[in-house]
Chains A and B, each alone.
Chain A
Amino acid sequence: MERITIDPITRLEGHGKIDIFLDGNGDVANSYFQIPELRGFERFCVGRPVEEMPLLTNRICGVCPEAHHMAGVKAADAVYNVDPPRTAKMLRELLYMAFYATDHTTHFYALAGPDFIVGPDAPVAERNILGVIHKVGLEIGGKVIQMRKFGHRTVEMIGGRKVHPASAIPGGVTKILSEEERKEIEEMGRWAIDFALFSLQAFNDIVLSNKTYLDLIVGDVYTHKTYYMGLVDENNKVNFYDGKVRVVDPDGKEFCKYAPNEYMNHIAEHVEPWTYLKFPYLKNVGWKGFVDGKDSGVYMATPLSRLNAADGMATPLAQEQYEKMYATLGGKPVHQRLAIHWARLIELLYAAEHWVELATDPEITSPNVHKKPTGIPTEGVGIVEAPRGTLTHHYWTDEKGLLTKVNLIVGTTNNYAPIQMSTKKAAQSLIKGGKVSEGLLNMVEMAFRAYDPCFGCATHALPGQMPLEITIHNSDGEVKEVLKR
């Protein structure tokens, strides 16, 4: 049989591609990280009924369909000016907690784990989830699979479908939870709490107790002092599903707090000639380039940002871990990007705890799950926290509810500017006087992997994964070296 070799370069047209330009001294002058842009989504949507959006947008991405489903239905609620019954909101949120627990688990064990558990210097062939299992033991792999099974099962029970949930509609949800289902979901949630605690303990034992790893986390290479964004509830606690968007400045002080429909007063998008993807920034600070500090409108929206932007966690065990993290890393806000991994595990615990809170609410099995929208549709914004950052859906319709305009700001896009800065900083520390240090690929990878950038759209076509390519150019712009894997 013919052997199939897929040349990474051809697959890389504009994806996972980093160009580094050196100055006359051979130091890094600039670096450009390109990620793909999906084209034509707005045109694709215009003319469709707005209630199709929660189903359609969850097809944008194979990784976080649940996040798009939720942002989409919340925007559709807003378009119809309908406030769903409490039980409907709780069911949506319960599904969302199960999704979060699954997603954060996958990221930690499959993506971050290899760097911290197998080690950043380990051979590439070992730096994957198999290496993690090899090092920590089969038990951990079994737990990861179990966590994912429980997450999928809960999403399926509430969302009506295994992968792309279909139950949320404007005004509520289509499916009532039975007592039998509720019991099963509660049990799975209790297991998830134990799993989250186990994961935090593993992080403590393997990462925090290892000086090399701790130094890597608190070191300067991965530090940027930027603004931080996250959704908060009425007590300024982290919330994934609902609330107001709060932004804190690099000193941790509240800079602004706004309702979803006010986002355009606060967020603007910067365009660069070398990439199709836009860079969102804080409008009221202004775009000053890819720099950090209080005068630069660059913000970050990640698990760590959410923790930085809030006053705490809404559940007791997660709150304990929240306090521990800030005590260990020297108070709020934490600017070290690799701490995003720690924050992600604290969020995993919150998601599991809240999962059980919702599953044990006396009203969760109430049949009152839908309020019929009666208003004339106009315009609406829905915001949720996707695992990778604040997700905004904005729809405009005519009086029949047919879409006339759509705007989305997706999780990863929020972080495009900080990712750009982090990859550049990692490159600067590893390329000096024209000499490229060993491990450049690893360190650059670690820089952006912390943000958990999602190019889910690109996962479908074979080979199903994007290789990384770094091209280093000399001061004349000529290609000096190409590193790839």
Chain B
Amino acid sequence: MQTIIVGLGNPILGDDGVGWRVAEEVSAQSGIMLGDAPLPHPSAPKPDPVTIERFSLAGLSLMERLIGFDRVIIIDSLNTGQRKQGEVIAFTLADMDDLTHGHSASAHDVSLKNALKMGRSMGEALPDDLHVHIIAIEAQHIYDFKEDLTPQIAAAVPVATQKVLDLIHEFTQTEAA
């Protein structure tokens, strides 16, 4: 089973960069290198290759980078305005409503859900929505150019990191069973 962890966001747009920071922290704590690197200890009992990437992508472009993976963990900022700043929630793509069905006022792309459907219908090896896990961090300041996170969001980084590490652990347990 191949897993890809994707820190999503724009690292120069303030709290939108939180996904990148979490991906970096997961890398630091797990010893998995950023980029296309396999686990550092191939002889360890959990030999599944896990890849950690940092992307500023959406829709089709994001889908294209998930081809060939069985499981995906996406870490991203979430802007509902209804949750506490820095609140971390976990769900899968299957739990998420496809708001626009496609493209209405779109940002020049299709939704990830539709992009994945399209990719699958083209025969690309892509995980189903239940295997696309999302760790989201509620954040408001995602339109200001700056490289650091606001304190509430920075405080959420270890929480989100732990959730990602727990998920990886869960995967390996399931596989071992």
Residue numbers of A with Cβ under 8 A of B are: 1-8, 10-11, 13, 15-16, 36-41, 43-44, 56, 59-60, 62-63, 65, 106-107, 110-111, 114, 124-125, 127-131, 133, 138, 141-142, 145, 148-149, 152, 163-164, 441, 445, 448-449, 452-468, 485
State in angstroms the CA–CA spacing of A10 and B81 once bound together: 6
Contact partners of A454 in chain B: CB under 8 A? 107-108
In this assembly, does B24 line the interface, its C-beta being within 8 Å of a C-beta of chain A? no
Q: Which residues 96-135 in B have Cβ within 8 Å of A in the complex? A: 96-97, 99-112, 114, 117-119, 121-122, 124, 134
In this assembly, does B34 line the interface, its C-beta being within 8 Å of a C-beta of chain A? no
B100 touches A2 (CB 8 A): no
Q: Which residues 44-85 in B have Cβ within 8 Å of A in the complex? A: 55-61, 64, 76-82
A130 touches B12 (CB 8 A): no
What is the minimal beta-carbon distance from B85 to any residue of chain A, in angstroms? 13
State in angstroms the CA–CA spacing of A111 and B11 once bound together: 27
Interface contacts beyond A7-B80, A145-B118, A459-B107: sample of 19 additional A-B pairs, CB < 8 Å, sorted by A: A2-B89, A2-B95, A4-B91, A11-B79, A15-B105, A40-B144, A60-B12, A110-B110, A124-B104, A138-B121, A145-B122, A460-B19, A462-B79, A464-B111, A465-B99, A466-B100, A467-B105, A468-B100, A485-B101
Please count how many residues in chain B sit with their CB below 8 Å of the partner chain's CB atoms.
58
State in angstroms the CA–CA spacing of A466 and B104 once bound together: 8
In this assembly, does B139 line the interface, its C-beta being within 8 Å of a C-beta of chain A? yes
State in angstroms the CA–CA spacing of A380 and B167 once bound together: 50
A457 touches B91 (CB 8 A): no
B92 touches A466 (CB 8 A): no
Contact partners of B134 in chain A: CB under 8 A? 462
A4 touches B95 (CB 8 A): yes
A461 touches B76 (CB 8 A): yes
B110 touches A128 (CB 8 A): yes
Contact partners of A461 in chain B: CB under 8 A? 9, 16, 76-79, 139, 142
- Top 7 A-B residue pairs of the complex, sorted by shortest distance between their CB atoms: A128-B102, A16-B105, A10-B81, A44-B145, A468-B105, A459-B58, A459-B107
A110 touches B109 (CB 8 A): yes
What is the minimal beta-carbon distance from A53 to any residue of chain B, in angstroms? 12
A40 touches B100 (CB 8 A): no
Residue numbers of B with Cβ under 8 A of A are: 8-13, 16, 19, 55-61, 64, 76-82, 89, 91-92, 95-97, 99-112, 114, 117-119, 121-122, 124, 134, 136, 139, 142-146
B97 touches A4 (CB 8 A): yes
What is the minimal beta-carbon distance from A439 to any residue of chain B, in angstroms? 13
State in angstroms the CA–CA spacing of A39 and B140 once bound together: 13
Contact partners of B95 in chain A: CB under 8 A? 1-4
B104 touches A485 (CB 8 A): yes
What is the minimal beta-carbon distance from B113 to any residue of chain A, in angstroms? 9
What is the minimal beta-carbon distance from A56 to any residue of chain B, in angstroms? 7
B109 touches A459 (CB 8 A): yes
A460 touches B77 (CB 8 A): yes
B102 touches A463 (CB 8 A): no
What is the minimal beta-carbon distance from B68 to any residue of chain A, in angstroms? 13
B12 touches A463 (CB 8 A): no
Which residue of chain B is the closest to A65 with respect to CB atoms?
B56
A130 touches B117 (CB 8 A): yes
What is the minimal beta-carbon distance from A414 to any residue of chain B, in angstroms? 16
What is the minimal beta-carbon distance from A84 to any residue of chain B, in angstroms? 26
State in angstroms the CA–CA spacing of A149 and B59 once bound together: 15
Which residue of chain B is the closest to A141 with respect to CB atoms?
B122
What is the minimal beta-carbon distance from B13 to any residue of chain A, in angstroms? 7
**Known: A6-B80, A110-B60, A141-B118. Contact between A43 and B101, CB under 8 A?**
no
State in angstroms the CA–CA spacing of A31 and B105 once bound together: 16
B103 touches A110 (CB 8 A): yes
A462 touches B10 (CB 8 A): no
* Among candidates A133, A149, A445, residue contacting B118 with C-beta atoms closer than 8 Å: A133
Contact partners of B10 in chain A: CB under 8 A? 59, 62, 457, 460
Contact partners of A43 in chain B: CB under 8 A? 145
Contact partners of B60 in chain A: CB under 8 A? 106, 110, 148
State in angstroms the CA–CA spacing of A114 and B101 once bound together: 12
